Amino acid sequence: MRTLQLGVSDLIVPRIALGCMRLSQDRAEALRTIRTALDAGITFFDHADIYQRGRAEETFAAIWEEAPHLRQSIYLESKCGIRVAGDTDPRAPFRYDFSYEHIISAVEGSLRRLKTDYLDVLLLHRPDALMEPEEVARAFDELHATGKVRWFGVSNHTPGQIQLLQRWVNQPLIANQLQLSLEHTNLIDEGIWMNRSDLPEPSRGEGTLDFCRLHNITIQAWSPLAGGRLGGRRPEHADPRLERTSAVVAEMAAEKGISPEAILVAWILRHPARILPIIGTMNPERIANACRADEIELTREEWYRLYEAGRGVRVP
Ligand SMILES: NC(=O)c1ccc[n+]([C@@H]2O[C@H](COP(=O)([O-])OP(=O)(O)OC[C@H]3O[C@@H](n4cnc5c(N)ncnc54)[C@H](OP(=O)(O)O)[C@@H]3O)[C@@H](O)[C@H]2O)c1
């Protein structure tokens, strides 16, 4: 699989990653998923401390039992900063926490569950309204100096939030993980509907796409397969736009002899920002099929045809 460099880091990773949010708790099934990904060329795995309340990281670690040597050739990313309701006392709400203490203890928890000495990348999961950048900087310095985390980034952050953090944090922020798929095109819409009042739905992209390109921050696309809603899984409620988009995706997939998942991933890969899709399917066949996106290159016409279908209107 072709590779890309994560931001300004020395990490050269395959350009499709596997997200482990839905990793099966059945050990054999989980191992089958991970092995399929490795066979397809995926060596970059995205985690978070909260995925299945830590059990996704724990199950993933089973891979070392059969292949301990793999740690050197695998890139592990995890996230911290989201705290679930009731974790400290029954009245504690679902919340965000970028305090020094929480960042340090969350990373230590991830390392323990993943049975590893270091994370290749740590992301701050969702912006914390009470964030003190000095505290984040202190936590990152310590994690970096002790070798527990090699590189740092964010997820779901605006340009302003990134600038605020980067003003204090000594390490370069190399990634911003954001929702992007043919179903959820906000990041792209705002550039296309710039200064117009007829955007079909409001975009809250906040200039993030251009900002990340300008500052060499790799965008990682979460939910790139739109949760299956554009590839065969029926949405809960009838949605004509999804149906039309699925039809265009299916037609293009048939023309090219690949799967709808591969078209969805190829649509993201075609963007010149060198966006890294984090696919979340745990189905071995779908993983292998989605990775075939690496073999094709959509034309400009194909990319815009898919975009038009996804938006449900032609560009202005
Ligand atoms: N930073 C954040 O805030 C954030 C938020 C959400 C997710 N993420 C990351 O992004 C990763 C991917 O997210 P995601 O899982 O929502 O993304 P996704 O890749 O868009 O969706 C995967 C889901 O769609 C299903 N699916 C895909 N194609 C299908 C098809 N043709 N038919 C039926 N079902 C199909 C999969 O089921 P099967 O397994 O059965 O194929 C799976 O449940 C996560 O694992 C996580 O690492 C990050």
Does any domain span residue 191?
A: yes
Instruction: Please give the pLDDT value at position 136.
Output: 98
- Residues of the chain with pLDDT below 50 are none
pTM recorded for the entire structure:
0.97
Does any domain span residue 254?
A: yes
Whether residue 289 has its Cβ less than 6 Å from ligand 1 = no
Reported as a single tens digit per residue, the pLDDT across 57-75 is 999 999 999 889 999 999 9
- Residue nearest to ligand 1 atom 21, measured at CA: 227
d(CA 231, ligand 1 centre) in Å: 12
- Residue nearest to ligand 1 atom 23, measured at CA: 227
Q: How far apart are CA 217 and CA 77, in angstroms?
A: 15
Does any domain span residue 202?
A: yes
CA 22 to ligand 1: nearest atom: 45
Instruction: Please give the pLDDT value at position 205.
Output: 85
304 has catalytic annotation:
no
Does any domain span residue 278?
A: yes
Instruction: Please give the pLDDT value at position 200.
Output: 66
Domain count within the chain: 1
In one letter, which amino acid is 44?
Answer: F
Whether residue 225 has its Cβ less than 6 Å from ligand 1 = yes
Domain extent for 234: 3-311
Does any domain span residue 316?
A: no
CATH code of the domain containing 76? 3.20.20.100
Whether residue 277 has its Cβ less than 6 Å from ligand 1 = no
Does any domain span residue 271?
A: yes
Instruction: Please give the pLDDT value at position 288.
Output: 98
Whether residue 46 has its Cβ less than 6 Å from ligand 1 = yes
Q: How far apart are CA 110 and CA 116, in angstroms?
A: 9
Q: How far apart are CA 204 and CA 184, in angstroms?
A: 11
CA 48 to ligand 1: nearest atom: 47
Instruction: Please give the pLDDT value at position 202.
Output: 64
CA 226 to ligand 1: nearest atom: 20
